[in-house]
Amino acid sequence: MPIEDPMVSADWLKSHLESPDIRVIDASWIPPWSEASAPGAAKRLYSQAHIPGAVYFDIDDIADEDSSLPHMLPSPEKFSSRVRKLGLGDGHRLVVYDRSGFMASARVWWMFRVMGHSDIKVLDGGWQAWEASGGPVDDMPPIPGERHFTVRFQNQLLKNFTQVQQASSDEQTTILDARPEGRFSGKDPEPREGLSSGHIPGSFSTPATTLVDSSGCLKSKQELEDILGSHLSAPHLVTSCGSGVSAALILLALHRLGRDDAALYDGSWTDWASQPNPDIATA
C-alpha cells in the first residue's frame, strides 16, 4: 500500500478542526542553549496563544526521568498514562505542531509512531504557517476527557548506543546526521557544554535545515529526492542529531519519500559523545 504523506497543511487543518476525531497537539519547545530559553517559556507561549482545542505536550516532561540524557523516550506505561490524561487515544487522528518550524513536533510524531499510533500528522510550517493562513487562535486551555491509549510498541523505530555502534560499521545500515555541517565535521563546537563535536564513524551529514524550504515547510518530494535519493536504497536507515529532536525531521522527509521504516537514535550525539573514549570522526 502507498505510504501516506506525514504532513498536513494549515488549510487542511482549518477545514477539519471541528471533526470529532481530530485532536491537535502543541509541542512547542525551546532548546536549552537558546537565548529565549527559560523554565516554562514554551508553555507560556502556548498559554498565550494556541490552535483552539490543542493540548500541550512537553518533550522534556513526557520523558524518561531516570536517564541523564535529555528528553529520552519514556516507558510505554508512562507515555500511555500521560497522553490518556491529555485526552489523546485510540480512534483519534492527531495533528501536532510547534513554534520551531516543526522540529519538536517531528519528534512527537515519531514518539507516537514508536508507541504504535500511526494516525498522526505534522502541521507543515508549524505555528507560523497557521498564523499566516489566518487560522483561529485561542488562549483558553481545553479540558480533555481521558481517553484510552493502547500501546503497540514498535521497537524497530528506536535505536540505542550499542545498536548504533554496531550499525556504524555495518554496510547494510546508513546513518544520517541532522546537525549543522560544522558540528558534524568537528569545526564548530557543540552547544552542550563538555561535548566534543564530530560525528559517528560512517555517518553522513544531512543538516535538517536543508530539508525545509524558504517558507518553513518540508521540501517537495523531488527536492528531497535530490538530497536523500542516494540513501533511499539502503536496507536500514538510522537518523541522529544532537539529542534526538531534529533527527526526527529527517524521518519526516524519508517518510514523504516512501521510507517509513527508518529508526531514530534516541540520545543521539549527546549519548555518543558522552561515552567513555567515544569513537569520533572528523572532517
Active site residues: 241
How do strand 173-177 and strand 236-240 relate by DSSP bridges?
A: parallel
The residues that bridge with 159 in the sheet, in sequence order, are 265
For the record, the C-alpha cell of 214 comes out as 524558504
Strand 120-123 to 22-26 pairing: unpaired
Rounded to whole angstroms, the Cα distance separating 281 from 232 reads 23
Q: Of 135, 99, 105, 132, nearest to 14 (Cα)?
A: 135
Instruction: Read off the amino acid at residue 206.
Output: T
Nearest of 161, 162, 188 to residue 272 by alpha carbon:
161
Which residue's C-alpha cell is 542553549? 33
Q: How far is CA 134 from CA 12, 28, 32, 127, in A?
A: 13, 19, 30, 11
DSSP string covering 110-169: HHHHHTT---EEEETTHHHHHHHTT---B-SPP-PPP--------GGGEE-HHHHHHHTT
- Distance between CA atoms of 92 and 171, rounded to whole angstroms? 39
SS3 23: strand
